[in-house]
């Protein structure tokens, strides 16, 4: 990333008076923390900010500072449109259909096509929140305790508690700085990664009941009936995919979550060095080498068959390496 891009982003942020900040559908902790962290920091400078997520904030992430400020639809006018933590424009949802191209795009997904006027895309970063934490001082944005908590929540959740393969010393130093600026790591860790609602635990049970394995690939699915039976109100997997990724001797984990719109949300996790974002791209998705996703139109069974076939094909070179 050139120094010019960072300076240009700083100028645009400070010149704007009404700023719209948006992230992806089915938001995770990095999406919520990046939206609210940037939003609150800009408000501290006197800006009028709208923080928008098409699906709102999941119950499990409402502890993130500023989450109560999130709205589902933009209201009124804005003079700067900022997208954070979204690998492409389609992932923003219907909230911003028909809007002009974003002025600023800040992200860490390797599949991001740089769709804005100014693009700060750093695939080496562990989370978009880590990018923001790094550049806020350069952009003249104050990291208050609330902002620090939002950004640290993004880092903690996207690294699954500092244990993803892309963790690096810089991310730990940024996290330590955020703690010194008022964020509570123990509280955020517990709220984000340990605590579960009773419906979420029941939902996990449905998925674990039908867990399957073939060679070094594990997978399961969650239907609409599973969601209703468990009383789970989200439209995600309640982070069950991270449990699957911890299974011994499994190189790749996949989870299929049926959606009410006729699509299936697919999530991949890799522990082997296999770049699962390349599989996701085949289905119109994207993400990271070790964690990717896609939303695919079709039945749960049909999508499962297509994706498992493509995933097994992608794993063939990996299997030959292990045999050697």
Per-residue pLDDT reduced to its tens digit, 131-175: 999 999 999 999 999 999 999 999 999 999 998 888 999 999 999
Q: What is the pLDDT of residues 254-308, one digit of tens each?
A: 999 999 999 999 999 998 778 999 999 999 998 888 899 999 999 999 999 999 9
**How many Å is the maximal CA-CA distance in the chain?**
61
Q: Mean pLDDT across the chain, nearest whole number?
A: 93
Q: Where are the alpha helices (DSSP H) in the chain?
A: 3-15, 29-43, 128-139, 145-158, 169-180, 185-189, 198-209, 224-230, 240-244, 277-282, 300-323
Q: Where residue 300 sits, what CATH number does that domain have?
A: 3.10.310.30
> What pTM was computed for the model?
0.88
How many domains in the chain? 2
Same domain for 107 and 236, yes or no, is no
Same domain for 224 and 257, yes or no, is yes
Same domain for 184 and 49, yes or no, is yes
What was the pLDDT predicted at 288? 85
What was the pLDDT predicted at 321? 46
What was the pLDDT predicted at 126? 96
Same domain for 222 and 308, yes or no, is yes
Same domain for 91 and 225, yes or no, is no
Q: Where residue 10 sits, what CATH number does that domain have?
A: 3.90.1640.10
Same domain for 171 and 229, yes or no, is no
Q: What is the pLDDT of residues 110-126, one digit of tens each?
A: 889 999 999 999 999 99
The answer for residues whose C-beta is within 8 angstroms of residue 62's C-beta and 6 or more apart is 68
Same domain for 54 and 147, yes or no, is yes
Structural domain of 81:
3-193
pLDDT at residue 28 is higher than 80:
yes
Same domain for 174 and 202, yes or no, is no
What was the pLDDT predicted at 324? 43
Which residue among 173, 193, 213 closes a domain?
193
Same domain for 155 and 15, yes or no, is yes
112-147 burial code (b ≥16 CB/10 A, e <16): beebbebbbbbeebbbbbbbbbbbbeebebebbebb
CA 293 vs CA 69, 269, 279, 312: distances in Å: 27, 9, 9, 16
Same domain for 185 and 221, yes or no, is no
What does the alpha-carbon distance between residue 187 and residue 86 come to, in Å, rounded to a whole number? Answer: 26
Same domain for 263 and 165, yes or no, is no
Q: What is the pLDDT of residues 37-84, one digit of tens each?
A: 999 999 999 999 999 999 999 988 999 999 999 999 999 889 999 999
DSSP state of 67: G
Which residue among 166, 193, 220 closes a domain?
193
Same domain for 71 and 207, yes or no, is no
Which residue among 162, 193, 224 closes a domain?
193
**In this structure, what is the dihedral angle of CA atoms 40, 41, 47, 48, given to the nearest 10 degrees?**
-20
What does the alpha-carbon distance between residue 56 and residue 62 come to, in Å, rounded to a whole number? Answer: 10
């Amino acid at each position: 990333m050139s120094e010019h891009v960072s300076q240009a982003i700083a100028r645009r942020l400070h010149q704007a008076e009404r700023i719209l900040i948006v992230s992806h559908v089915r938001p995770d902790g990095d999406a919520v923390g990046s939206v609210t962290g940037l939003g609150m920091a800009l408000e501290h400078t006197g800006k009028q900010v709208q923080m928008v997520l098409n699906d709102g904030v999941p119950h499990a992430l409402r502890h993130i500072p500023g989450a109560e400020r999130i709205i589902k639809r933009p209201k009124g006018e804005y003079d700067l449109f900022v997208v954070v933590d979204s690998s492409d424009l389609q992932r923003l949802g219907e909230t911003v259909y028909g809007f002009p191209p974003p002025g600023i795009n800040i992200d860490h997904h390797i599949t991001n096509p740089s769709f804005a006027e100014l693009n700060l895309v750093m695939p080496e970063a562990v989370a978009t929140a880590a990018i923001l934490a790094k550049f806020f001082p350069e952009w003249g944005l104050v990291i208050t305790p609330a902002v620090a908590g939002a950004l640290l929540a993004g880092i903690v959740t996207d690294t699954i508690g500092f244990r993803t393969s892309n963790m690096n010393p810089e991310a730990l130093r940024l996290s330590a700085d955020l703690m010194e600026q008022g964020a509570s790591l123990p509280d955020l860790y517990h709220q984000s990664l340990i605590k579960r609602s009773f419906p979420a635990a029941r939902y996990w049970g449905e998925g674990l009941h039908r867990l399957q394995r073939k060679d070094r690939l594990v997978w399961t699915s969650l239907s609409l009936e599973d969601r209703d039976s468990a009383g789970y109100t989200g439209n995600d997997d309640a982070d069950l995919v991270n449990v699957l990724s911890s299974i011994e001797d499994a190189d790749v984990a996949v989870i299929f979550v049926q959606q009410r719109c006729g699509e299936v949300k697919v999530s991949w996790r890799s522990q082997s060095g296999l770049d699962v974002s390349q599989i996701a791209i085949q289905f119109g998705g994207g993400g990271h080498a070790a964690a990717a996703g896609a939303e695919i139109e079709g039945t749960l069974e049909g999508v499962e068959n297509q994706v498992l076939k493509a995933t097994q094909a992608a794993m063939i070179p990996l299997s030959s390496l292990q045999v050697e």
